Amino acid sequence: MHEYDMSELEQLDQFADEYIKMYEEKCKSGTMNDVEAHELLSKIAHIKRTVQIAGYVTNHNKMAMVAAKLHDIGRFPQYDILGGFRDDLILHHNLGEDLITRMIFQKKLHPSTELDTIRQAIMYHGRTQFIPFRESPLTKEALEVTDIISEVDDLDNGCIGALGYIEGEIIHDSKKYQEKNPTLDMSLISPRVFEYFSRGEKFNKMTECHTYADYLLFAAVLAIQSLKGKHKDVAAQLLETPCFGYENAMAGYRDLFIKYLDPSKALEAYDIFYSFYVEAKGYDPTTHAK
């Protein structure tokens, strides 16, 4: 990876720590209701795990770790403004970029190559393939960091994070699918989503998800992408980790599929998901001794 100035990265790391801590304290101060505090704290937990995974897969590369710590910084102003993580109203990518610009105006951050690379990762993580660029707006260095962040983001969201927040989002209609479509059965899977899912292909959540069943399969596709990617061993390991009261993440998905997917599709969907897991491992852990 490109050589970056360590002292610049150190300052950005410190800025991120202070900024995140401010929200962590706000969550624990009792001024927010329980749902808000829980949603924000699970986002903070996602950010922290992302930093850890970024460190693990890059051999503790400082740029990757600081970019991971800042990649979702726009989630905080998004929550302040909208009271939820509503990318359908204002993307957290843009709010992250807006926050960085305001911090520069306020002299809390100063422009640098390092900040420039990170703000491109903030702006484009997880969506480079859905933006019909005429030419890539990213520098080569920023594209490299953005790709790492997108991979690590999917690793955490798909293999661990989603299991901690999806059920709450379904219950509280956080994505407003039900509000937008009160008569629609939220366990129905859109045919196109099921096709993407069966192929283990990532799709655009913003345009394709209409129900919580779709959204649940989107999370599973992030895990499948990781199981097909260059860090498939890390993905399988994360999916075997106990989390959020589940024996492991795979069992968590199984429970959520049975609970929230159309009953005629739930087990078929789990079998598809499980087959990607077996493929990544190279053997079926339920029938083979390790």
For the CB of residue 124, give the shortest distance to Fe ion in the complex, in Å: 10
Half-sphere exposure (CA, 13 Å, Cβ side) for 77?
17
Instruction: Report the C-alpha gap between 96 and 102 in whole angstroms.
Output: 10
Positive or negative CA dihedral for 145, 116, 65, 226? negative
- For Fe ion, the closer of residues 153 and 169 by Cβ is 153
For the CB of residue 43, give the shortest distance to Fe ion in the complex, in Å: 8
For the CB of residue 93, give the shortest distance to Fe ion in the complex, in Å: 7
* No. of helices (H) and no. of strands (E), the chain: 15, 0
For the CB of residue 94, give the shortest distance to Fe ion in the complex, in Å: 11
- For Fe ion, the closer of residues 39 and 72 by Cβ is 72
Using CB under 5 A, list all residues that contact Fe ion.
72, 153
- For Fe ion, the closer of residues 114 and 151 by Cβ is 151
Residue with tokens 């199984």: 254
For the CB of residue 71, give the shortest distance to Fe ion in the complex, in Å: 6
- For Fe ion, the closer of residues 75 and 210 by Cβ is 75
Q: Is 191 exposed, middle or buried (0-12, 13-18, 19+ CB in 10 A)?
A: exposed
Positive or negative CA dihedral for 206, 208, 212, 215? negative
- For Fe ion, the closer of residues 67 and 266 by Cβ is 67
- For Fe ion, the closer of residues 8 and 153 by Cβ is 153
- For Fe ion, the closer of residues 12 and 186 by Cβ is 12
For the CB of residue 156, give the shortest distance to Fe ion in the complex, in Å: 7
- For Fe ion, the closer of residues 72 and 141 by Cβ is 72
Element (H, E) at 257: helix 249-260
Give backbone dihedrals phi and psi of 11, rounded to 5 degrees, phi first. Answer: -65, -40
Instruction: Report the C-alpha gap between 155 and 227 in whole angstroms.
Output: 9
Q: Is 245 left (phi over 0), alpha (psi -120 to 50) or beta?
A: left
> Which of 23-52 are b and which e, b meaning 16 or more Cβ less than 10 Å from the residue's Cβ?
beebbeeeebeeeebbbbbbbbebbebbbe
- Residue 161's nearest CA partner among 49, 83, 248, 273 is 49
For the CB of residue 278, give the shortest distance to Fe ion in the complex, in Å: 27
For the CB of residue 48, give the shortest distance to Fe ion in the complex, in Å: 11
